[in-house]
């Protein structure tokens, strides 16, 4: 289920599992951050549950904001198929 977070400048981001698997599928979860006009991706290693859906539920909003700071634009990310925003 998508979650929404708000940055300090008031931008609202929708966060979901990206659905992309990596070579570390059992140890990493890939998240997609979207806001109108921008999509970003980040991978992280969950501390608790290893099932992506459960790991996503365990992540706090503060951690989602921290991960947003580490995310990369879709055009630089394999999870975004290196796609530029239109």
Contact 7, 69 (CB under 8 A): no
Q: What is the pLDDT confidence band of residue 86, given thresholds at 50, 70 and 90?
A: low
Whether residue 14 is predicted with pLDDT greater than 70 in this model: the reply is yes
Helix, strand and coil in the chain, % to nearest 5? 25, 30, 45
Token look-up 């975004």 returns 80
Burial class (CB in 10 A: 0-12, 13-18, 19+), 19: exposed
Give the H or E element holding residue 29: strand 29-35
Nearest to 7 by CA among 67, 53, 72: 67
pLDDT in tens, 66-81: 999 999 988 777 766 6
Higher pLDDT, 52 or 36: 36
């Amino acid at each position: 289920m998508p979650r929404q977070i708000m940055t300090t400048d008031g931008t609202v981001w929708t966060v979901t599992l990206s659905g992309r698997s990596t070579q570390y599928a059992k140890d990493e979860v890939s998240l997609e951050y979207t806001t109108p006009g921008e999509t970003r991706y980040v991978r992280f290693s969950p501390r608790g549950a290893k099932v992506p859906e459960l790991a996503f539920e365990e992540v706090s909003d503060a951690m989602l904001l921290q991960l947003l700071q580490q995310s990369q634009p879709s055009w630089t990310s394999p999870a975004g198929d290196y796609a530029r925003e239109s």
